[in-house]
Amino acid sequence: MAIILKKTIPPGNRIRVLVVDDSVVIRRLVTHALAEDPVLEVAGFASDGAIALSRIPQLNPDVITLDIEMPGMDGLETLRHIRENYPQIRVVMFSTLTERGAGITLQALALGADDYVAKAANVGSLDRSMASLRSELIPKIKQFFYIAGSTPPPASRPAPPKPPPAAAIPVPVVRDRQVVAIGVSTGGPNALSAIVPQFPPDFPLPILIVQHMPPLFTRLLAERLQTVTKLRVEEAAEGSPVLPNKILIAPGDYHMRVSRRDGKPLVTLSQGPPENSCRPAVDVLFRSVGEVYGGSVISAILTGMGQDGLRGTEVLKAQGAYVIAQDEDSSVVWGMPGAVVGAGLADRVVPLDGVVPEILKHIEKG
């Protein structure tokens, strides 16, 4: 699937959003939430996919928020038409926090949706619904754009703060790698579907993954990835052993850590406070693998919004871990890997299809 480059919104312009949902209530809620942000503009509405497609040429939206389940032309069929005829338009799916909703959302991401917002059932009051939309939907729309005057492109963006003094200590040379830790967010399901099949069936290390997703979604993601690899793929559970030839994915709404029991590494889960507004958080996993494995870690930061993983990478790098970051051109959003690169922590910056070859090459050298 082709990667859409970030679009710059000129001064005085706003990001135009077409809201597609068969629910009048949802359309009103989204409109009110977006209207409060000065760089967003609701360009129009549609109650089903066919109406949405007919209005795109007149409204010229930058983003479409697309309900999955609608009468007539549903969200998936609408998405297929959008990707075929308007590949430059960003699409954020609205899905329900149900098994069916999670499964269809993963289908939508595979078909080219850029991101999704989970609509929690029984959110409660209007104020809570609005707050949920502000915190979830607005950042997910903005992540695909450079806002002139407020969000300069990476080339002109100042470098992130330097790592803490501990990271300035000479990095130890570690050749014996024992685990691979991966952090990923926006664009992650497709990125993981692309790289997981590249691992050989006799891959000698365990692989631990934090993908920012809610409950249900992570289990279905693990099941989907299992269909493309001979490695064993599981959603991690409390006490899951960390073993070679095995991929463990942090479950939604739980931080995943590694600890040792009787000398053997295993997973511990917790619902501690979110970090970087995330649970699971990449930083939590990375710190814990540093505690258990020291510098014997290969970490990879892939496409995603924000800076989750930056602090954990600083800890790993100081111990001698080997750090790989996905490059900007192949990332859906270059927030997470860009933060690691900007802090000077990446040993290699590679396109997505180069991540696993780099891991294999480094293990072979070690």
- Enumerate the active-site residues: 185, 212, 308
Q: Tell me if 281 sits within 8 A of 306, measured CB to CB.
A: no
Per-residue b or e along 293-319, where b marks 16 or more CB atoms closer than 10 Å to that residue's CB? bbbbbbbbbbbbbbbbbbbbbbbbbbb
Cα separation, 53 vs 74, whole angstroms: 12
Best CA proximity match to 181, nearest among 277, 317, 350, 274: 317
Contact 3, 331 (CB under 8 A): yes
Give bridge partners of residue 115 from the DSSP assignment. Answer: 92
Type of residue at 178: Q
Token pair for 362:
């480094």
Antiparallel, parallel or unpaired: β 145-147 and 7-9: parallel
Burial of 118 (0-12, 13-18, 19+ CB in 10 A): buried
Quote the CA–CA distance of 356 and 342 in Å, as a whole number: 22
Burial pattern 9-27, b for ≥16 Cβ within 10 A else e, equals beeeebbbbbbbbbeeebb
Query: What does 260-309 look like in DSSP terms, one character per residue?
Result: EETTEEEEEEE-PPPBTTBSS-HHHHHHHHHHHHTT-EEEEE-SBSS-TT
**Residue 197 burial class via C-beta count within 10 angstroms: exposed 0-12, middle 13-18, buried 19 and up:** middle
Of 220, 282, 209, nearest in space to 242 by CA: 209
* Residue that has been written with the tokens 């803490």 in this structure: 164
Distance CA 317, CA 307 (A): 16
Q: How far apart are CA 206 and CA 210, in angstroms?
A: 14
